[in-house]
Amino acid sequence: MRGDLGVRSMHKLRGIGLLMLDFLMVASVPAQAQSLGELIPELLETHNLIKASQADLEAASQNVKSSQGAWFPQLDLTAHYGFEAQNKPAESDDTDLATREADLSITQLLWDFGKTNADIRASKLNRSASRFALKAQTQDILLIAIEAYLNVRLKAEVLMFALQSESNIKRQTEIEDALVERGAGLSTDVLDSKQKLAGAQSKRSAAAGELKTARNAYRRVFQADVEDPGALEKPNLPIDLLPASVEEAINTALRENPTLKSASTASRVNREIANSQRATGFFPVVNMVGEAVVKKDSGGTVGNQQELLGKVEMNFPFNLGFTAINTLKAAKGAATAGERRVSDARDQLELDVRDAWDILETAREKLEFDRNQANLAAEFLELARRERQLGNRTLNDILDAETELIDSNSRAAAAETAVAVGVYTLIQRMGRLEADILTRS
């Protein structure tokens, strides 16, 4: 019997040791905690999607310069060296010469009835759309980073509650077990406590698994694992940036949301493309051309020759199948479709803002109730323990109170995180989620 008791005690001590080791890994506070603001600068510099949007903006900027180049003179230089043989009529001598020629041509666009200007405006609009897209992408990444950070912090807190509850129930189980061994307790109480302990261990295991998943999402965003989930600081919420009403939030979003501004700007590109297609299909291009030709032993003529030419020329290619009409209609159709999509995006943005507002309001209300419930659960457990000592409460009452306390604490922590995410989500929908909001927290 003593040998069995010794083995059992060793298993208990080992279990307690492993439990405390897990607890210290999660809940210990290091010498220097980590804030969300400290992670943001490097994130914005290294995230692939932000760098991709920056590359898009740079490409759009280069396209503006390229489109403006149509107003600059075009220089064409052609030179050749070869052999030329001509069999001439009987009155002239045949020639067999090593011919050389250099042709230089400068073409200056005078007018194309608005095509080049439309192309320049389209490229500038594309650049503006890319700039708005970069801002939108940055805000999206910031919100994803916030959610990943807060979720790790939440799961670490829930795991801490689970470990505390498991430890308390385990200690109570050991007490009841010892009472039974001395003949002063009930075997049913031991079985009941072990049943509750198994439930607490299951919750602790589930919480640990959820923390691992949250850390995986954190690693995906920040490209590094969080060193100590328990060391993540709670950010200071930018409550001062929240609007007074949902209508104010909607109006702000319609004015400032970069995703909507990018889509609206991009739709205007289609109108400029239609203008360019109209000029291309229905109007000529007028150029001023200057040419200089230097020849030697060319065209069957021995010796050097020079030619100079200056002219204004008009070029008007027109397909007799009247495809210019089809091209213009297609461009106008694309422009109309883009404008319709922007209108739908405005409606969707209004829906997103209303949803974000309502979700935040609900989360705030739920947080108040969950905090109150957690406080009441803690008070009830304390009183139940005192009454248990007086014999007025059963062991089952204590264990149920322990379970309720961890559940209410976890719900309160989740509600607090939901409020934080709701605040940042609403600000992001409004188009105002900037990096300095997080670095100041």
Cα separation, 73 vs 105, whole angstroms: 10
| Rounded distance between C-alpha atoms, residue 170 and residue 374, angstroms | 21
pTM of this structure: 0.82
Query: How many CA atoms are closer than 13 Å to the CA of 250, on its beta-carbon side?
Result: 15
Query: Cβ(214)–Cβ(151) under 8 Å?
Result: yes
Write the DSSP string, 185-234: S-HHHHHHHHHHHHHHHHHHHHHHHHHHHHHHHHHHHHSS--S-GGGBPP
Q: What is the DSSP string of 376-393?
A: HHHHHHHHHHHHHHTT-S
The beta strands (E) that lie in 89-224 are given as 95-111
Nearest to 77 by CA among 98, 107, 49: 107
Query: How many whole angstroms separate alpha carbon 141 and alpha carbon 127?
Result: 21
Report the distance separating Cα 64 and Cα 123, nearest Å: 5
pLDDT tens for the chain, 441 residues: list them: 334 434 344 344 344 444 444 444 444 444 457 888 899 999 999 999 999 999 999 999 999 999 999 999 999 999 988 888 877 777 777 777 888 889 999 999 999 999 999 999 999 999 999 999 999 999 999 999 999 999 999 999 999 988 888 887 777 766 666 655 655 555 555 566 677 778 788 888 999 999 999 999 999 999 999 888 888 899 999 999 999 999 999 999 999 999 999 999 999 999 999 999 999 999 999 999 999 999 887 776 777 888 899 999 999 988 888 888 998 999 999 999 999 999 999 999 999 999 999 999 999 999 999 999 999 999 998 898 888 778 787 777 877 888 888 889 999 999 999 999 999 999 999 999 999 998 765
Q: Virtual CA dihedral for 217, 221, 224, 228, nearest 10 degrees? A: -60
Neighbours of 75 (CB within 10 A): 9
Residues 349/257, Cβ–Cβ less than 8 Å: yes
- Whether 118 and 276 have beta carbons less than 8 Å apart is answered as yes
Alpha carbons within 13 angstroms on the beta-carbon side of residue 66 total 10
Residue 163 corresponds to which amino acid?
L
The string of DSSP codes covering 325-347 is HHHHHHHHHHHHHHHHHHHHHHH
Q: Residue 172: which of 192, 201, 156 has the closest Cα? A: 192
Q: What is the CATH number of domain 2-68+118-280+324-439?
A: 1.20.1600.10
